[in-house]
Structure 1
Amino acid sequence: MTGVLFDFSGTLFRIESTESWLRAVLAETGHTLPEPELLDAARALEEAGALAGGADPVELPEELAEVWAVRDESAELHRAAYTGLSRRVTLPDPGLHDALYARHMTPAAWAPYPDAAEVLRSLRERGIRVGVVSNVGWDLRPVFRAHGLDPYVDAYVLSYEHGVQKPDPRLFSVACAALGADPREVLMVGDSREADGGAATLGCRVHFVDHLPVTDRPGALLPVLDLVG
């Protein structure tokens, strides 16, 4: 293998819990909620699927189905999808929905998996080029910089910057080209068999990890080092 492509959310990083997300925004904006109401609101937001990188909606509203299907193709669609879901939950101030969306794009909202730095550093030491291929509606590069992982990434290929989202093979093709690598010599690592599995269309080898909380997945990325040889 001459290159490895990684998904972002659920693969290298994990978003904070919905409760932590809501608590942080309430604190940042000076709002308070009684504890039972806060917990109820957090549960409702999670069921709504309002946190990007978190759980999918339990029930997708018909009026949001079209934008949801293509949400990662532009920043505008991504915002519309997630703030639309968030607004299905009543909060003490309508402005909190935009604040919640803004919060999820900050480095503080994300934590790298425990083995991410070790694996990326080892790949760099072996001379294997690394790309990040993500279905996302915002620039995640600051997250990598803030957590010290940016020096190990050679290319970022983000769906909203190309107007196409995984599993469309065109996004993986752009990523392989950015690494200067033949797709048949590239390993794609991700947590979604549907989205990340699209890389196999080009001849990439694909390896899947489970989208688990950071504390529950201490070493799932380490096998990547054996797979690249």
Structure 2
Amino acid sequence: MTTFQGVLFDFSGTLLRIESAESWLRAVLTASGTEMAESEIVRRAGELARAGALPGGPEPVALPAELAGLWRLRDSRPDRHRELYTALARQVPLPRPELYEALYDRHRTADAWAPYPDAEEVLAALHGRGIRLGVVSNIGWDLRPVLRAHGLDRYLDSCVLSCEHGVQKPDPRLFRLACRELGLAPAAVLMVGDDRTADGGATALGCGYLPVDHLPVDRRPDGLRPVLDLVG
């Protein structure tokens, strides 16, 4: 066992995973009463995925030059986040203009996210050991309702979001704030996340770092369990 007394978790791709682009598009079409041919749904969902229009999904295959600035700062403010992702979605023709905003709104709902199979088990076990737990996320909206809906918030002591502080990982200031929220020195905190650049940036502050793979939930049943062997 190490001397870690706290653990910070990334949100997307670490504790929970966003639905597929096809599921995302189908949900919005159904909710709005919009009909599309099956082949068209599959085709447009693939185009949305390649455009990087689904937050938490694949990055753009080709980012338009005029959106490069917004891309870099997308998680620093809610308005920037919405502007970027709706702009990316608008590259793909859809039958009704209001669908682009509806797609953005859908991804912020609990139904659009699924916890990894071992997420609650690991959080509950660490919480039971008296380990301080928090989420630190690059995101453009308040994810707390999603954590609450999936029953994960009960184990957390803090939640530090880039859009609420205007600072994005890997900036050490966000990790420093997250450690302060846990009441711990960075050397006593382990950061767990799927992005080796953004989440791994915690090591510059003295935190430990455990990478996990950004995989669909059915392909990563126990990716978080190694945390239990590192924290005592």
Could you say which residue in structure 1 is the equivalent of 2:112?
109
**Structure 2 residue 205 is matched with structure 1 residue 202:** yes
**Structure 2 residue 228 is matched with structure 1 residue 220:** no
Unaligned stretches of 5+ in structure 2? none
Alignment of 1:67-78 (within 5 A): 67-78=70-81
Cα separation, 2, equivalents of 1:179 and 1:205: 15
The alignment partner of 2:75 has SS state of helix
Alignment of 1:39-188 (within 5 A): 39-188=42-191
The alignment partner of 1:72 has SS state of coil
Alpha-carbon offset, residue 182 of structure 1: 0.7
Cα separation, 2, equivalents of 1:167 and 1:129: 21
Amino acid at match of 1:50: A
Amino acid at match of 2:64: P
Match of 2:19 among 16, 35, 50: 16
TM superposition score normalised by structure 1: 0.99
Amino acid at match of 1:38: I
Alpha-carbon offset, residue 203 of structure 1: 0.3
TM superposition score normalised by structure 2: 0.98
Cα separation, 2, equivalents of 1:160 and 1:117: 25
Cα separation, 2, equivalents of 1:14 and 1:7: 11
Amino acid at match of 2:175: F
Cα separation, 2, equivalents of 1:150 and 1:39: 34
Amino acid at match of 2:41: L
Aligned pair count reads 229
The alignment partner of 1:177 has SS state of helix
The alignment partner of 1:121 has SS state of helix
Alpha-carbon offset, residue 172 of structure 1: 0.3
Cα separation, 2, equivalents of 1:219 and 1:39: 30
